[in-house]
Amino acid sequence: MTPKLRAFGAFWYDFLIGDDWRVAIGVVLALAATAAVSRTKVSSWWITPAAVALLLGMTVWRATRRRSRT
Amino acid sequence: MTVWALFAAVFLACTVEAVEATTIVLAAGTSRDWRSALVGVAAAIVVLAVAVVALGPAIGVLPIQSLRLFVGGFLLVFGLQWLRKAVLRAGGYKALHDEDEIFRKQLAEAPAASTRSLGVVADWYAFTLSFKGVLLEGLEVVFIVLTFGSNERNIPIAGIAALAAIAVVACAGALLRAPLARVPENALKFAVGTLLTSFGMFWGAEGAGAQWPGSDAALLAIIPLTVLLAIGLVAALRLARQRSVSLVAVGASERSEAVQQ
């Protein structure tokens, strides 16, 4: 039963989180920061696009470094 | 977001998933037993329909602000995964998705598997292969339909777009009886990754309380800027790859000159 449960968990992890968990964490933090800044008078729309540019660049960079090391 | 934009986004995304599922079903049907493979498809569709019926109304009950935050967040994570893979493939750091190769692999593995029948299913292997393929790719279709559809409060249009994509790909697969290798899958994944990321950004930030300049019209800037970002990363990867190849070539020629001396 345990291997099946593990496979089930692995499927959902891969489906929702994917190859780089840092991206998921980054998205959560970016949206949390947007929510926090939105409560002030400062404009907050730019936070998510900036985070996306940073996260995509970082995850691609990490993947290429890992591949060039192997 | 207009009805046509919703239709186009869901249609494109579901086409990619349908191409992958069709390859698996074709392999199961061609190498083993068509009837069992098609029963597998039908069984997977029933499971997916139950998921839509169960989740669709539940999602519809959520307040729009929370819905946009959660759905936007998920779309953003999902879209960034797609875009990451597409950028790495286009930059030459990851092998291209080859439907021909997948089809050949499935065909090679199929004869070795045991032939077991169960009830109306004559070939259990063909059934499970196509059931799993359609269910896994179909789950992504369900996710796309529910997220895009519920955000725009128009699940029927999203559903019709998904069904249209599946029908077009299934008809093409049935006519060709071969994997749809000519579909530019990486280009499609690039486009879909861009759309998922852009809509994820838009809805996620809006759900978190941000006010986009120009409201819905902001998407007209978000989508092209996301494309530019991805294209810029691909160009940087290609440049880095070319440089490392030339460095290796220079190193090799210097070594051979040293050996000759």
pLDDT of B232 strictly over 90: yes
Which residue in B32, B6, B47 sits closest to B147, CA to CA? B6
**Chain B residues with CB-CB distance to A25 below 8 A:** none
pLDDT of B140 strictly over 90: no
Mutate to test the interface with B, among A19, A23, A27 (most CBs of B within 10 A): A27
Contacts of B43 (CB under 8 A, 6+ apart): B127, B131
- Bridge partner residues of B121 (DSSP): B118
Cross-chain Cβ contact B73/A31 below 8 Å: yes
Please tell me the distance in Å from A6's CA to the nearest CA on chain B.
17
**Chain A residues with CB-CB distance to B207 below 8 A:** 31
Cross-chain Cβ contact B80/A56 below 8 Å: yes
Please tell me the distance in Å from B197's CA to the nearest CA on chain A.
8
Q: For residue B40, what are its two tokens? A: 């597998």
Mean pLDDT score, B33-48 = 89
Q: What pLDDT, on the 0 to 100 scale, is given for residue B117?
A: 67
Mean pLDDT score, B212-235 = 92
Contact criterion met (CB below 8 Å) for B144 and B162:
yes
Percent of chain B with pLDDT over 70: 83
Mean pLDDT score, B243-261 = 70
Please tell me the distance in Å from B84's CA to the nearest CA on chain A.
6
Confidence of residue B84 (pLDDT cuts 50, 70, 90): very high
**Chain A residues with CB-CB distance to B223 below 8 A:** none
The H or E element that residue B36 is part of is helix B34-61
Which is more confidently placed, B109 or B234?
A: B234
Q: What pLDDT, on the 0 to 100 scale, is given for residue B146?
A: 85
Cα separation, B214 vs A15, in Å, equals 33
A15, A60, A67 ranked by CB distance to B233: nearest: A60
pLDDT of B225 strictly over 90: yes
Cross-chain Cβ contact A63/B207 below 8 Å: no
**Chain B residues with CB-CB distance to A24 below 8 A:** 77
pLDDT of A50 strictly over 90: yes
Which is more confidently placed, B99 or B62?
A: B62
Confidence of residue B19 (pLDDT cuts 50, 70, 90): confident
pLDDT of A68 strictly over 90: no
**Chain A residues with CB-CB distance to B140 below 8 A:** 15
Cα separation, B244 vs A64, in Å, equals 12
- Sequence spans of domains, chain A: 19-69
B83, B213, B218 ranked by CB distance to A56: nearest: B83
Cα separation, B248 vs B66, in Å, equals 52
**Chain A residues with CB-CB distance to B69 below 8 A:** 31, 35
Contacts of B241 (CB under 8 A, 6+ apart): B91, B92, B93
Which is more confidently placed, B78 or B249?
A: B78
**Rounded to 5 degrees, what angle do the CA atoms B87, A35, A48 make?**
20
A54 touches chain B (CB under 8 A): no
Confidence of residue B1 (pLDDT cuts 50, 70, 90): low
Report the predicted TM-score, pTM, of the whole model to 2 decimal places. Answer: 0.75
Q: What pLDDT, on the 0 to 100 scale, is given for residue B17?
A: 84
A20, A43, A49 ranked by CB distance to B201: nearest: A49
Dump pLDDT digits (tens) for A17-26. 888 899 999 9
ipTM for the predicted complex comes to: 0.88
Least confident interval from A12-16, A30-34, A66-70: A66-70
pLDDT of B180 strictly over 70: no
Q: What pLDDT, on the 0 to 100 scale, is given for residue B115?
A: 66
Report chain B's mean pLDDT, rounded to a whole number: 83
A27, A30, A64 ranked by CB distance to B237: nearest: A64
Cross-chain Cβ contact A31/B237 below 8 Å: no
Mean pLDDT score, B227-233 = 94
**Chain A residues with CB-CB distance to B201 below 8 A:** 48-49, 52
Mean pLDDT score, B191-216 = 90
Q: What pLDDT, on the 0 to 100 scale, is given for residue B113?
A: 63
- Sequence spans of domains, chain B: 3-243
pLDDT of B239 strictly over 70: yes
